[in-house]
Structure 1
Amino acid sequence: MTEHVTPAAPAPAPAPAPAGQGRKLVVLVFGLAAVVVGMLCAFAFPTIHSGPHDVPVGVTGPQNATAAVSKALAGDAWDVRVYGDEEALASAVKDRDVMGGIALSAEGVTAYTATAAGPPAAAAITATATALAEQQQGEVKVTDLKPFPVDDPKGAGFSSAALPMVIGGMIPAVALTRLFPGHSGLRSRLAGGIAFAVVAGFAITALLQFGTGSLDGDYWITSLGLSLGMGGLSLTLLGLEALIGMAGFGLGAVVVMFLGNPLSGLASGPHWLPDGWVTVGQLLPPGASGSLLRANAYFDGAGSGTAALTLGCWVAFGLALSLIADRRGRRASLAGEVAPSERESRTEGTAAA
């Protein structure tokens, strides 16, 4: 008996790639490359071009001496301001009107610094005063009006607060979005974001002030300022996610992490960044949070108004985005409820006919 062998069916041909897939791949590759280059620019350019940029510095002393110093310091590095006496100069340093000052007299040169306002600026002012004293063959005296606390003289704890402030605004936004998704969880996300900002702000301030001794100011005011900064960041990210989706959250996170963080000027002080960069940095939550923390922790709140107003605007912006998303979600829910009722009415009408 002859057996008939059925030939095997040919393997199906692979499905053709969807049209435009190659174009999407090219756009993705070049887009990601642009993001990486942009991150490198945000981190590298401010560091490469760091240095004194319009640093406000005060000068006092005999008219001919102050005129000579003002002429010597003329340029883009320093913004020289003349004061009537040393007391007025010291008050200006404490009030953050200037980063430091130089007092000239027959006895020698005195440098008034505020290390807590920015260690690089304090070092540069000290070096300038030393050079002037050498020219006059006199002595130099350095008076640090606002140093870092004794337990942390280099301000390491203060400088390390930059990343926790940024991460403290991003992590709760991610967690709350996952735990309370959709329009129904929007109010829970907002309540959680505000509550976390308050708790984390007080906890971080307690650690830095009582644990490491890095902060020296009113605990409650410093904590509220730090909470405001974290809340401004967290609520903005939650609002972007509610209105645009994860794409909006990702865009906000990239801007904050790779632009706001390196441009915050927390370690060096904002005047040590190039003019354009420092303006952008102080308008973003990390930079404003750092300025507010510095003012409250070391200068009794002097110069905190602009930073607090900036962070308040970010909080309002995040809440506004969430409100728009909430209204849009309500309209979508109402439309979903009306549509079935209209279909039922049409069905009943057809049946009656």
Structure 2
Amino acid sequence: MKSSYKFILTLVVGLTVILGIMMTAFSLPAVNSGVHNVPIGVVTEDKATYDKLAKPLEDKGFKVTHYKHNNSMKDDVTDRKIYGAIALSKTGDVTIYEASAASTAVAQALTQIGQGMVTQQKAAAKAQIAPMMEKAQDVQTIKMMQAKLNAIDAKQAKIVDLKSFPKADPKGAGLAAGALPIALGGWIGAVAIANMVKGKREKLAAILAFAVIGGLGLVAVIQFVVGTFDGNYFITSLCAMLGIAATGFFVLGLLEVIGNAGLGIAAVMLILLGNPLSGLSSAPEMLPSGWGAFGQLLPPGATGTLLRNIVFFDGHATAMPITVLAAYVIIGGGLYYFGKRSKI
């Protein structure tokens, strides 16, 4: 029986919609990426100095918190409440506290801001000394002024990386690249199991085994081959297992309820949207408003954030990604349980 033109038109329109979603998911975050309410701190004991520094930072898109001491600021970096801070001492020295393991993009932005502040300080100091140099007559005064200028030229912003990636992968490329294998691997694994394993209980056992072995294998590659991770291998593997299980159960559940149509839904959610919106290569707050938060509700973003926070931030701020991934496991498991396509 030949396909009707109505069916062909519906199929073409549907494929065009999918292409549009792909284009939006990949291009819009890339075009509009930047600072969107990125939380950082300013460390200074003087309120007036804080107000002077905070306003231009807020105008750039940062969400700024005032700290009077470094200790509380460092605690908030570890707790994943802020990405870093700019500290200004009483003598005007600039120190940039960053956490490149949280986001290399935000760390680079903070470094540029700190260097810009020092450049402004140099220009202002030279502008004060220049007239005095012109009026100076004796050699001793000229030498003293020149020494001050040399000291000004040598001034630099101090960079302190509180949480960094290992030397084997200083930019954390392995973590960013790992989001797609988790999403695509879980998708492919669930499809293969659904089509090749017979029996409902057997499929359930297969997806559980795939999550366990896949999690161990994925983390082994990232930790021992690529060198991105340096934490507890087994604890990190448990997080990867949860990520793969979330993807696998969700896909398996959709297949069990609506058949092959579920593959398209899963592909859009987990790969076409989940990967570019994960924020792993920058930060969720570096994506356009709303997109980053949505990406954290998808398995690639939630898994990447969970792995990042477990390995580099002592397990802080893991409740949200664990909840998201557990929800996918539960929803997928529920769909699979009530679905009728597989024989017991």
Write out aligned runs for 1:146-161 (5 A): 146-161=163-178
- The aligned counterpart of 1:319 is 333
- Cα-to-partner distance string for 1:138-176 (whole Å, 9 max, x where unaligned): 531010011110111121222221221112201211111
Q: Which is further off, 92-101 or 283-292?
A: 92-101
Where 2:326 maps in the other structure, the secondary structure is helix
Does the CA-based 8 Å contact 1:186-1:242 persist in structure 2? no
The within-5 A match list for 1:156-175 is 156-175=173-192
Shift of 1:122: 0.4
Q: Which residue in the other structure is 1:230 paired with?
A: 244
Secondary structure of 1:117's partner? coil
1:204-225, Cα deviation, whole Å (9 max, x unpaired): 1122112222112221211101
> Share of identical aligned residues, percent?
40
Q: Give the superposed CA RMSD.
A: 1.8
After superposition, the C-alpha distances for 1:17-45 in whole angstroms (9 at most, x for unaligned) are 87x81222222222212211221111111
Contact 1:70–1:80 (Cα < 8 Å) also in 2 = yes
Residue 96 of structure 1: SS of its match in structure 2? coil
Distance 2:15 2:177 in 1: 29
Aligned pair 1:77/2:91, yes or no? no
* 2:234 is equivalent to residue 220 of structure 1: yes
Q: Which blocks of at least 5 consecutive residues in structure 1 are unaligned?
A: 1-16, 334-353
Equivalent runs, 1:9-88 vs 2, <5 Å:
21-61=4-44, 62-75=46-59, 77-88=61-72
Contact 1:58–1:81 (CA under 8 A) maintained in structure 2: yes
- 2:146 corresponds to which residue? none
- Structure number with greater CO (CA < 8 Å, separation at least 6) is 2
Shift of 1:257: 1.1
User: What SS does structure 1 have at the residue aligned with 2:166?
Assistant: coil
**Contact 2:200/2:342 (CA < 8 Å) preserved in 1?**
no
Q: Say if 1:238 and 1:249, in contact at 8 Å, map to a contact too.
A: no
The residue that corresponds to 1:202 in the other structure is 216
d(CA) in 1 for partners of 2:275, 2:172: 18
In the alignment, residue 27 of structure 2 is paired with which amino acid? A
Aligned letter for 1:52?
V
The aligned counterpart of 1:11 is none
- After superposition, residues 247-266 of structure 1 pair within 5 angstroms as 247-266=261-280
The two structures have a TM-score, normalised by structure 1, of: 0.84
Contact 1:50 1:272 in 2 (8 A): yes
CA shift digits 1:171-228 (9 cap, x unpaired)? 21111111125xxx22211211111111111111122112222112221211101110
User: Of 110, 117, 120, which aligns to 1:135?
Assistant: 120
Asked whether the equivalents of residues 242 and 326 of structure 2 are also in contact (C-alpha less than 8 Å), the reply is: yes
- 2 CA distance for matches of 1:224 and 1:161? 15
Size of the alignment, in residue pairs? 310
Say which is worse superposed, 133-142 or 89-98, in terms of deviation: 133-142
Report the alpha carbon displacement of residue 263 of structure 1 after superposing the two structures with TM. 0.6
Shift of 1:304: 1.2
Quick check: 1:107–1:139 contact (8 Å CA) kept in 2? no
Counterpart AA for 1:118: S
> Partners in 1 of 2:220 and 2:295 — Cα distance?
26
Range that drifts further, 187-196 or 113-122: 187-196
SS of the residue 1:74 aligns to: helix
Is the 2:256–2:342 Cα contact (8 Å) retained in structure 1? no
Q: Distance in 1 between matches of 2:164 and 2:223?
A: 15
Larger Rg: 1
Amino acid at match of 2:36: H
Equivalent positions of 1:86-101 (< 5 A) are 86-101=70-85
Q: Does 1:126 align with 2:140?
A: no
Q: Distance in 2 between matches of 1:311 and 1:165?
A: 12
Matches of 1:76 and 1:21, distance apart in 2: 55
SS in 2 for 1:136: helix
SS at match of 1:79: strand
> What is the CA distance between 1:280 and its match in structure 2?
1.3
Report how far residue 107 of structure 1 moved.
4.4
